[in-house]
C-alpha cells in the first residue's frame, strides 16, 4: 500500500501529553503519513514542542493559530491543508498503538470501505489505570442499522467520536455542517453531530474490533468539565439533528427515539446537578421528554 494518510492532531495547552501522542504517530508501522498538528493558540510549551518535532521528521507540519478557536475549527483548517487520500483524527492528549493506521488502512483497502471504525480503550490520569470494553461487534462490515443501534449502548461511545476512525477523503468533498466540516460554534457534541453524517456518505463502513486508540481521561479536559447551558444546548441540537437526518433517509424508528430520550435525560440530570433547572434548555428537554411519554 502506498496511499497517503493525513493524520490530523489538535493541540491546546497539553505540553505534558503532546510528545507521547506525536511519538505514537511517528512510530506507526505504516509510514506514508502526512502529520498535521494544529496548535490552537497554546500558552504553554505545546507550541515549542510541536516545532521541535517539525525539525525531527519532515512528515510533521504545524499550523499555529493566533487565538483559541476550538477543536472543530482546528480540524476544519487541517482538512483544507492536507492532501491524504485518507484522513484520521487524533486528540493531542491521546495516543495510538503502532499498528493503528496500518490496520485501519488494510481493512479499508481490502474491503472497499470508505469509513473504518474501531473501539477505544481509556486511560485515567487520576487513577493511573486502563479501562477496556467489549463493544459487542466482531470485525466485519458495519451496517447503518448496526451503527444507529450502537447509540443505545452507554458504556462505549465509539460511534460518536471523530477520532479513532479512518475516513476516505471523498467523504469530505462537500461540507457537513453549513459552511464547515465540523461546527465551529458548538462546544459540546460537535463530533456526534458530524460522525453519523460521514457514515451516511460512506459506501461501506467496516468495523475493527481491536482497540488501537487510547483516550486519556483527565480532570481538566473539556469533556470532563461541568455541564453548562451552552453545552446542553449544543448537545440537544445535535441529538435533534440526528433524528432529523434519520427521518430524512427513512431510518427513524423506536430504537432511535428511545436512545434520544435516554441521552437528553442524562443531560437533564447534569443540568440538575449544576442547579440549572431554570434555564431554557432544561425546560425544552422536559417538554421533549413529556412529548415522548405521550407518544408511547
- Which pLDDT value is given to residue 292? 64
pLDDT for 263-276, tens place per residue? 899 889 999 999 99
Domain ranges for the chain: 5-224, 229-294
pLDDT in tens, 118-140: 999 999 999 999 998 877 788 99
Q: Band of the pLDDT at 152, cuts 50, 70, 90? A: low
Rounded alpha-carbon distances, angstroms, from residue 275 to 97, 234, 278, 282, 284: 41, 18, 8, 10, 16
Quick check: 157 pLDDT over 80?
no
Return mean pLDDT, the chain: 89
Q: Which residues are within 8 A (CB) of 25 and not within 5 positions of it... i.e. 6 or more apart?
A: 7, 9, 33, 35, 90, 96
Please say whether the structural domain 5-224 has been given the CATH code 3.40.50.720. no
User: What is the spatial distance between Cα 37 and Cα 40, in angstroms, rounded to a whole number?
Assistant: 9
Strands 205-207 and 115-117: parallel
- Size (the chain), residues: 296
- The predicted pLDDT at position 225 comes to 59
Amino acid at each position: 500500500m502506498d496511499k497517503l494518510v493525513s493524520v490530523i492532531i489538535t493541540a491546546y495547552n497539553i505540553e505534558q501529553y503532546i510528545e507521547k501522542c506525536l511519538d505514537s504517530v511517528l512510530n506507526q508501522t505504516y509510514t506514508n503519513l502526512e502529520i498535521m498538528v494544529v496548535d490552537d493558540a497554546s500558552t504553554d510549551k505545546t507550541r515549542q514542542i510541536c516545532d521541535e518535532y517539525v525539525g525531527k521528521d519532515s512528515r510533521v507540519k504545524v499550523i499555529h493559530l493566533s487565538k483559541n478557536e476550538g477543536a472543530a475549527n482546528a480540524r476544519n483548517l487541517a482538512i483544507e491543508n492536507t492532501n491524504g487520500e485518507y484522513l484520521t483524527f487524533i486528540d493531542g492528549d491521546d495516543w495510538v498503538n503502532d499498528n493503528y493506521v496500518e490496520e485501519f488502512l488494510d481493512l479499508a483497502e481490502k474491503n472497499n470501505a470508505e469509513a473504518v471504525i474501531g473501539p477505544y480503550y481509556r486511560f485515567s490520569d487520576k487513577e493511573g489505570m486502563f479501562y477496556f470494553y467489549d463493544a459487542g461487534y466482531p470485525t466485519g462490515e458495519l451496517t447503518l442499522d448496526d451503527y444507529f443501534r450502537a447509540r443505545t449502548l452507554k458504556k462505549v461511545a465509539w460511534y460518536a467520536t471523530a477520532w479513532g476512525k479512518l475516513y476516505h477523503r471523498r467523504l469530505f468533498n462537500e461540507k457537513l455542517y453549513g459552511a464547515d466540516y465540523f461546527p465551529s460554534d458548538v462546544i459540546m457534541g460537535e463530533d456526534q453531530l458530524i460522525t453519523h453524517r460521514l457514515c451516511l456518505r460512506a459506501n461501506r463502513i467496516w468495523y475493527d474490533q481491536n482497540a488501537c486508540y487510547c483516550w486519556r481521561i483527565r480532570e481538566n479536559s473539556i469533556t470532563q468539565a461541568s455541564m453548562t447551558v451552552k453545552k446542553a444546548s449544543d448537545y440537544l441540537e445535535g441529538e435533534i439533528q440526528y433524528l432529523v437526518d434519520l427521518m430524512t433517509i427513512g431510518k427513524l424508528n423506536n430504537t432511535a427515539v428511545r436512545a434520544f430520550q435516554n441521552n437528553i435525560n442524562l443531560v437533564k440530570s447534569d443540568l440538575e446537578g449544576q442547579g440549572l433547572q431554570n434555564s431554557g434548555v432544561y425546560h425544552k428537554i422536559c417538554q421533549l421528554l413529556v412529548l415522548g411519554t405521550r407518544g408511547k
